[in-house]
Amino acid sequence: MKFVDEALIIVEAGNGGAGCLSFRREKYIPRGGPDGGDGGDGGSVILLADENLNTLIDYRYQPRYRAENGSPGAGRNKTGSGGNDLVLKVPVGTTVYDDETNNLIGEVVCNGDAMVIADGGRGGLGNTRFKSSTNRAPRRTTPGSLGESFKLRLELRLLADVGLVGFPNAGKSTLISQLSAAKSKIADYPFTTLAPQLGVVSLAPHRNFVVTDIPGLIPGAAKGAGLGTRFLKHLTRTRILLHLVDVAPIDDGDPVDIVETIADELEQFSPALAARERWLVLNKVDLVDSDKREALIESLKVKFNWPFPVHVISGVTGEGCELLAYNLMTRLEALASERRQDPDAESAERMWLDQMAAEAHERIAELREKRRVQHKDNHRGDGDDGDDHTMEVIVARD
């Protein structure tokens, strides 16, 4: 199944039905007076979050949606039936933007959340509404109002507690496979991960968290290089970032330079995301000789001078992975407790999440516009961003 995290759609709410012009015509009742009923209201377009969905692929191939119109009124003061609402089911974590103004309309972040994205038109008034003591036979009615119509952009941001970042082949897929039941593609070449992967880490009953792995970042990612920037927005809902570093890179690169490169890319993409709590995870220690391992690890810790926790693991052998998982769970529980006890902490967290989302949306919009201009210059048209990729998101539980 393709993983599509953006879709452009046109939604049209139903129009209201027209009011009826009618007069009573009954035997033995001359001049019965007006009896035209009102028109029915048009149906609205509603967005509904469904936890069973994980992609917006349906909206990529079916971009136009219209709710039912209201029926016109009828004689004998009969009101027209209202149009049925059109319910569009989307994955949890979907955000809606007005594509023409780029303004945020809203988001659905919990299963069952519903949001009206286009209101139906109101039904018109029948001539019964206009009778009075001075106007016994009104011939005035009103048409129904038009339903709202919008061109919207749906953006999906996956919901996860922990996000993995790092260079390609840093071992992110191996780690998520070690911690959870996710079966990520693992190979000895870069960019084996082409779409976000989700895994549920279960430590005990009612003690679990969700971790997500995105494609590896490379220098220039904030300017559109590689796949990482496209999916960095999926980290804007995470509480903690894990920065994986290969302590024994094949090209003999300096791990310190690698960390600084990723930090710069995060800063360019979203300063708020770069300021998120980010743990350093030194991976692939099994590739270092045991007699040199301790000295290498200590030297790296001194060079990094990391303000957050530093963990040493091996995604292949599992060394240090269990301790990492339990420490993450403890920290996430502590953060949740702080938000429950302090309303200001919850408000600050909400503002931080909104800021990350806004910065990510702005950056991606800039890159999208840049691609459109390039496509236009190449005579490919500017109606599509050439983004019809064949990728898959997988959610796995232990």
Single-letter code of the amino acid located at 20: C
- The pLDDT score that the predictor gives to residue 249 is 76
In the beta sheet, which residues pair with residue 34? 23
pTM for the full model? 0.74
Per-range mean pLDDT, top range of 147-161, 174-188, 207-221, 350-364: 147-161
Tell me: domain 6-156, CATH 2.70.210.12, correct? yes
> Is residue 397 very low, low, confident or very high in pLDDT (cuts 50, 70, 90)?
very low
Whether the pLDDT of residue 347 is over 90: the answer is no
Residue 53, pLDDT score:
87
Kindly state the average pLDDT of the residues 196-204. Answer: 84
In this prediction, residues 348-356 reach a mean pLDDT of 85
CATH topology of domain 162-397: Rossmann fold (3.40.50)
Model confidence band, residue 28 (pLDDT cutoffs 50, 70, 90): confident
Tell me 154's DSSP state: E
Task: Provide the pairing of β-strand 104-108 with 94-98.
Answer: antiparallel
Q: What is the pLDDT at residue 382?
A: 47
Give the pLDDT confidence of 298-318 residue by residue, as tens digits: 888 888 888 889 898 998 898
Higher pLDDT, 103 or 16: 16
Flag whether pLDDT at 253 surpasses 80: no
Query: What pLDDT score was predicted for residue 229?
Result: 62
The position carrying tokens 């106007």 is: 135
| Secondary structure (3-state) at 65 | strand
Asked if 68 and 39 touch (Cβ cutoff 8 Å), the reply is no
Question: What angle is formed at CA 326 by the lines to CA 324 and CA 331, rounded to 5 degrees?
Answer: 95
State how far the alpha carbon of 131 is from the alpha carbons of 23, 39, 143, 183, 391, in Å. 11, 17, 17, 71, 63
pLDDT beyond 80 at 33: yes
Domain boundaries, the chain: 6-156, 162-397
Side-chain half-sphere exposure of 132, counting CA atoms within 13 A: 4
